[in-house]
Structure 1
Amino acid sequence: MLSYRYRPSAAKTSTSTSSKKRSAGVDFVAPRLRKLRSGSSSLDLPLATIEKTPGKVYAFGTGDCAQLGLGESVLSRKKPANLAVLNDKNIVDIAAGGLHNMALTQDGKLWSWGVNDQRTLGRSGDEFTPLPVEGLDDVKVVKVGCSDSLTVALTDDGHVYTWGTFRSAEGILGHSKEKEVQELPTVVPNLQKIVDIATGTDHVLALTSSGQVYSWGNGQQMQLGRRIVARRMLNGLTPESVGAKGMVRVGAGSYHSFAIDKDGKANAWGLNTYGQCGDENPKAENIPSVAPIEALEEERFVDIQGGEHHTIALTKDGKVYGFGRSDSHQLGLGYTETPGSEDPASHKKAIRKPTVIPGLPAIQEISVGGNHTLALSKEGDVYAWGFGEMLACGNGEEKDVETPLKLKGQQIENCRVVKVAAGGQHSIILAVPAE
């Protein structure tokens, strides 16, 4: 995912969203699931969200809004830098939002850092240093997602907790119909048996154990899969089904949404101005409800995520596709328009046809930031590409990365990366000692 709200006081900024993500019988194996138990309940939760071996967290990119977690004096890092305060916390997963981050411990607790303007950290105290999220003492978190001004946590018994607020083009929309800003984690009512979550800039998706997808938040770009009347925008803050069945994973871009079905087929809905929903028709500016991505129907996918206006999709066999906006090389293809294209919308620098990104080894995990992407290989190497002015690609230079570039750094020389998380202007990774 995904998001880009910037503080007005930030020294550097890029595009800001506050101004104004079939065939039966095919031998596809759904993303592996791990059975977790809590009391008498038992739910299938994505294995990919849980790392067995605790690791160390590293950050790089721009940190003038506290998003690096390296202290108030560190405003940027060109290469991965260790967050020493988390080294003994047994961190097994990470998540990055526009300007804040979460780290998940082995025993299901959260540590947060970054901008706390709308209480996205779920705690009070220093923004520049990781500190424990409050109010989750009696639950075990197994997955966490960061949107723009909201944080979402999934527990081992299938409940969802949220805190912070949603925003719309007009400003703060609210956390719920009853609460404008939620300061501490609170359970989302009427949602249960949830096995996966995904966050866009200002919307959330939740997948049930029966394969249904629920959405809530801001629906101005049809990212909720249902029409929200302007005078009743608060209705979008209540989770409702998008009508999809048989899904096994959800994903999100800033203003568009995804779901993968049990046969590995990718579906999308929401904003499509650059073809980021996989619909190549330049007149299809929005996809109002769940629709299959026909250009990808021959492939089987295990993950699909979006940035502000682009999309990255990962196949079962480790190939990576890109489509959507490309003016900052968000797609890693080495060009910003399809060569020879006569697409009338080509002036928008978009590659609407889903295209395999060359130059990558077999990939096991992706994370899509606002305008950059991190891809983790099965060997534990990280590849980055896209918008580079904020140093979020870790290449050490303030320029765009046109094609996938292997991440290097003195502090990770003898490490194997196990998790990646791309934010709005920064990136974080989780690494363990190389074997």
Structure 2
Amino acid sequence: MVSKQLPVSRGRRRVSKPSQAPAKARNTQAKPSPRLPKKASKPRARPAFTRSHLSSKKLQVYVFGEGSSGELGLGPVKSTDVKSPRVNPNLAGVVSIGTGGMHAIALTADNKLLTWGINDQGTLARDTTWEEEEGSDTDGEERLNPKESTPTEVPSHYFPQGTEFVQVMAGDSATFALTKSGLVYGWGTFRDHNGVYGFTFDSKTGQRVEVQEEPMLVPGLKNITQISVGGNFALALDADGHVFAWGCGEQNELGHRLIERRRAIALLPTLVGLPKTAKIVSVHAAANHSFAIDSKGDTWTWGLNNFGQTGVHIGAGDSDATVCPPQRVPSLKGVHMKLVTGGQHHSIGITQSGECLVWGRLDGFQTGLDLSQLPLDDPSKVIVDSRGKPRILVKATSLPIPRCVYAAAGSDHNIAITTDGRAYSWGFNVTYQCGQGPDSDVEMDSDAESDGEIETPRLMNGKAIRDRKIVWAGAGGQYGMSLIFTGVMHGFLQPVAALLTVLAVLTPLATVPVVAAPAHTSNWAVLVSTSRFWFNYRHLANTLSLYRTVKRLGIPDSQILLMLPDDMACNPRNAFPGTVYSNSNRALDLYGENVEVDYRGYEVTVENFIRLLTDRWGSDADDDGGGVNVNVPSSKRLLTDEGSNILIYMTGHGGSEFLKFQDSEEISSWDLADAFAQMHEKRRYNELLFMIDTCQANTMYRHFYSPGVLATGSSEEDESSYSHHADNDVGVAVIDRWTYYVLDFLETQVTGPASEKTLGDLFDSYDFEKVHSNAGVRWDLFPGGEQAGRNRRVVDFFGNVQSVEVQQNNTRDLLELRRDLEVLRRLADEYYAAAEEEDLQRNAVVAQEDGRPGAARWSGGPVVCT
């Protein structure tokens, strides 16, 4: 969120900006009353936010821009423009930041809330009363209030013991924090054109609470998974996909029309009137308008539209135009958006494929487009003013920035980040909010003064970030911050919430004496069927077919984890006892020889699957001290490391964002996302390929957020996954269509471990006419994006990188030797000191387990059922 400029007071400098058009609320359509959500017996959407979505690393915070009101958090130093990023020693240990008009809030690794900046309406939730001692300023320079300008903890006694926070956000004059349990705390106030509007409505007294100086629970909200804050309103998304809005709705920011006599009720969360069919997965508040992305990738919008900032053409150019009720953004229909956010009068979004789109106000270079190249004679794309100058970009238009992964919008400027860690910024830059100032903060010659406006995207290349990889950004008005840490950023940082610029960057390798991470050294496969009962025969056959293929291409059984919940081969209904077939003429018995099942029957559970991925088996009695239960045999563990590529294949019955395990429990897309995040945190993979064949399969990888992951599935949301053919003698379908054609490619095109066929070749083989559903691929988390993913060889996941005979003992010896060598390399590197102990403990456990009985297996010949 970014905010409109606040009134100037107490010596705060007003900066000249593009003229602001009046914005009285005038609706372009009739508006229905807000509807109430239906009661849901069992939500299937995302669970509440967890701390696993936050960075697990303590961040260093760098600040830049204007700090005349203490918004930089540098303490009571002389007020000046910080022209280039400068470290803030007061914010060590921060994992996330939410930024407001002239204040900010940070969440630390030890669960503390820090606030700083202006405290005029209780925005800091603490007492900042201060009287400067007479004569304390010996140099005659004005000091800032140290209690406001220094980040300080919000007293913990305001919250119940054990409260754990997962997200912090701020607006112009209000501040919010989301807990792990899905509750929202808030304080401060909302403002309207007359001044203070109020923070909440007390239903007992029938009166507004104008200013809330202490944290309070926002009434009516539970099971909240995300919050987003605009200038003077807030949004919350719950686990059922419902969106709530509250605050000041003068420009229909709340998604419904306000009745004058009931305006105070707007301070209580009310359901936004989105269509019942639109299942929302993320919300994004701008200054006076909002966006919501649904599970199909469509984007909905509402609020102020005087410059077409909502993306809706109707009313664009009228000073009092709004969009209400919410409408689908026409130019984004069918475009799968990753995020959409906005400034005062413009918006910016990133697609799942990495394209950066912009629309809205043009005359301050907010969109970053070359105005001379715009089609001024096409009013469906560009609206011009009375002088024929381009004024409004109506249709979402792509910027020439390749492979974007994130973007943030300030009042009139933006920052976009690419997959290679570069940041580009453009727009209003009078106080260096684009991060484009000189490295020195001393007075400059007039020729070196700040560019008032940066017309088109320009690489951010300041000395402090020149050799560093930027992985996250937020943008705002007159000051900014950078989040910097030594390591890879994991998880989620919420969009910035106001007039700030925030950059998260990686410390350059050149400044840290590190040994390069090991290259791709091994391949592993986790193959899972989640269905029991005879009529689900095809799911077991799907899995065994993949098992046979990866063994043919060289992955040894010691590096394959096979989970089968039912023994179809010995089912009494099987007309061919001891066998499983997936081909129509029963030419190949998938169960015939050397099948090693690691988990079967009751062992195939969500808990065991998550523990397998994360290698966290500990219990109070049997934990070895490193999170590994010493009673778990090595044959049941995924003994991977940072050099391992992992193929994970799953099949069974599923729906939107869930997959059933044996009809008794479910794993959600967020469960998978968090498990992969833990794997990345523990450096358990180099690259990971996730494949899933189920109904609505592609929803299962929607919430992945860990780097190095490629994902593909058999069907889009609301689509079924179909079986390929049935065997009349067996009596059931014997394989699913998508898996059948994946196997067809692997068996006919990938002839051996030296094959040069790529994942791009495999994915291009998907054919709706054959599969009868829309198979999908997600590229954005993979290093180098789609092109790099397409160029990966199939055998980089389905084959084996080591030229060894597929025999368990020989492979085990080589794996042990490789791990020992990697540990020795890590011992020379202080940068990986935190990981050394864990790796050594793991290797010790592996050594102790040699000779220990493994899981129930059978091999060496045909199965005999007894």
CA spacing shift, 1:361–1:377, aligned 2, 3 Å: same
State the partner residue of 2:418: 377
- Aligned 1:49-64 pairs, distance under 5 A: 50-64=54-68
Partners of 1:252 and 1:304 within 8 A in 2: no
State the partner residue of 1:142: 166
Between the aligned partners of 2:418 and 2:125, the Cα distance in structure 1 is 32
CA spacing shift, 1:374–1:124, aligned 2, 3 Å: farther
Partners of 2:376 and 2:384 within 8 A in 1: no
1:408 to 2:429 alignment: no
Between the aligned partners of 2:47 and 2:474, the Cα distance in structure 1 is 25
Partners of 1:144 and 1:152 within 8 A in 2: yes
Q: Which moved more, 1:299-308 or 1:64-73?
A: 64-73
CA spacing shift, 1:49–1:118, aligned 2, 3 Å: farther
Q: Could you tell me which of 77, 84, 102 is aligned with 1:79?
A: 84
Q: Could you tell me which of 169, 180, 183 is aligned with 1:159?
A: 183
Q: Deviations over 1:76-117 (max 9, x none)?
A: 111111111112xx2121222221122221233222221111
Between the aligned partners of 2:7 and 2:477, the Cα distance in structure 1 is 9
Instruction: Considering Cα pairs closer than 8 Å and 6+ residues apart, tell me whether 1 or 2 has the greater RCO.
Output: 1
Instruction: Report the CA distance between 1:380 and its aligned residue.
Output: 2.9
Q: What amino acid is the match of 1:248?
A: V
Q: Deviations over 1:6-55 (max 9, x none)?
A: 432222324598x99xxxxxxxxxxxxxxxxxxxxx92438995223222
Q: Could you tell me which of 130, 143, 150 is aligned with 1:129?
A: 150
Q: What amino acid is the match of 2:149?
A: F
Between the aligned partners of 2:352 and 2:214, the Cα distance in structure 1 is 38
Q: What amino acid is the match of 2:460?
A: L
Instruction: Report the CA distance between 1:342 and its aligned residue.
Output: 5.8
Q: Could you tell me which of 243, 260, 266 is aligned with 1:230?
A: 260
Between the aligned partners of 2:12 and 2:200, the Cα distance in structure 1 is 29
1:240 to 2:261 alignment: no
- Aligned 1:182-261 pairs, distance under 5 A: 182-244=212-274, 245-261=278-294
CA spacing shift, 1:121–1:74, aligned 2, 3 Å: same
Q: Deviations over 1:159-199 (max 9, x none)?
A: 11111100011111000123111112211112000001111
SS of equivalent residue, structure 2 residue 14: coil
Q: Deviations over 1:212-252 (max 9, x none)?
A: 00000011111101111234321210101013341000001
CA spacing shift, 1:424–1:122, aligned 2, 3 Å: farther
Instruction: Report the CA distance between 1:308 and its aligned residue.
Output: 0.7
- Aligned 1:15-414 pairs, distance under 5 A: 43-45=47-49, 50-71=54-75, 72-87=77-92, 90-125=93-128, 126-134=147-155, 135-136=158-159, 138-178=162-202, 179-244=209-274, 245-282=278-315, 285-335=321-371, 338-341=374-377, 343=379, 345-347=383-385, 349-358=391-400, 360-396=401-437, 397-414=450-467
The percent of aligned pairs where both chains have the same amino acid is 35
Q: Deviations over 1:308-355 (max 9, x none)?
A: 111111111221111111222111113289442464952282211111
SS of equivalent residue, structure 1 residue 57: strand
SS of equivalent residue, structure 1 residue 104: strand
Partners of 1:214 and 1:239 within 8 A in 2: yes
SS of equivalent residue, structure 2 residue 265: helix
Between the aligned partners of 1:317 and 1:110, the Cα distance in structure 2 is 35
Instruction: Report the CA distance between 1:389 and its aligned residue.
Output: 1.1
Partners of 1:69 and 1:83 within 8 A in 2: yes
- In the superposition, the TM-score normalised over structure 2's length comes to 0.45
Q: What amino acid is the match of 1:51?
A: S
SS of equivalent residue, structure 1 residue 101: strand
Number of residue pairs the alignment of both structures matches = 410
Q: What amino acid is the match of 1:13?
A: V
Between the aligned partners of 1:95 and 1:427, the Cα distance in structure 2 is 12
* Structure 2 gap segments, 5+ residues each: 24-45, 129-146, 203-208, 438-449, 486-506, 510-866
Partners of 1:95 and 1:421 within 8 A in 2: no
Partners of 1:94 and 1:420 within 8 A in 2: no
Partners of 1:2 and 1:253 within 8 A in 2: yes
Partners of 2:230 and 2:285 within 8 A in 1: yes
State the partner residue of 1:39: none
Q: What amino acid is the match of 1:154?
A: L
Partners of 1:204 and 1:217 within 8 A in 2: yes
Partners of 2:291 and 2:340 within 8 A in 1: yes
Between the aligned partners of 1:180 and 1:153, the Cα distance in structure 2 is 19
Q: Could you tell me which of 13, 16, 22 is aligned with 2:15?
A: 13
Q: What amino acid is the match of 2:14?
A: K
SS of equivalent residue, structure 1 residue 177: strand
CA spacing shift, 1:171–1:345, aligned 2, 3 Å: farther
In our comparison, the structure showing a higher alpha carbon Rg is: 2
CA spacing shift, 1:345–1:411, aligned 2, 3 Å: closer
1:2 to 2:22 alignment: no
Partners of 1:43 and 1:157 within 8 A in 2: no
Instruction: Report the CA distance between 1:297 and its aligned residue.
Output: 1.2
Between the aligned partners of 2:48 and 2:414, the Cα distance in structure 1 is 28
Partners of 1:51 and 1:418 within 8 A in 2: no
Q: Which moved more, 1:214-223 or 1:416-425?
A: 416-425
Partners of 2:220 and 2:268 within 8 A in 1: no
Instruction: Report the CA distance between 1:149 and its aligned residue.
Output: 0.6
Between the aligned partners of 1:414 and 1:257, the Cα distance in structure 2 is 35
Q: What amino acid is the match of 1:272?
A: N
Instruction: Report the CA distance between 1:121 and its aligned residue.
Output: 1.8
Between the aligned partners of 2:344 and 2:242, the Cα distance in structure 1 is 25
* Structure 1 gap segments, 5+ residues each: 21-41
Q: Deviations over 1:121-174 (max 9, x none)?
A: 222332222112233464222111111111121111111111110001111100
Q: What amino acid is the match of 1:7?
A: V
Partners of 2:51 and 2:165 within 8 A in 1: no
Between the aligned partners of 1:341 and 1:431, the Cα distance in structure 2 is 46
Between the aligned partners of 2:413 and 2:328, the Cα distance in structure 1 is 25
Q: Relative to total residues, which structure has the larger helix share, 1 or 2?
A: 2
State the partner residue of 1:434: 508
SS of equivalent residue, structure 2 residue 90: helix
Between the aligned partners of 2:235 and 2:256, the Cα distance in structure 1 is 13
CA spacing shift, 1:416–1:123, aligned 2, 3 Å: farther
Partners of 1:174 and 1:181 within 8 A in 2: yes
Between the aligned partners of 2:478 and 2:373, the Cα distance in structure 1 is 24
CA spacing shift, 1:91–1:418, aligned 2, 3 Å: farther
Between the aligned partners of 2:372 and 2:150, the Cα distance in structure 1 is 38
Between the aligned partners of 1:132 and 1:418, the Cα distance in structure 2 is 27
CA spacing shift, 1:434–1:48, aligned 2, 3 Å: farther
- In the superposition, the TM-score normalised over structure 1's length comes to 0.88
State the partner residue of 1:30: none
Between the aligned partners of 2:116 and 2:273, the Cα distance in structure 1 is 36
Between the aligned partners of 1:48 and 1:58, the Cα distance in structure 2 is 24
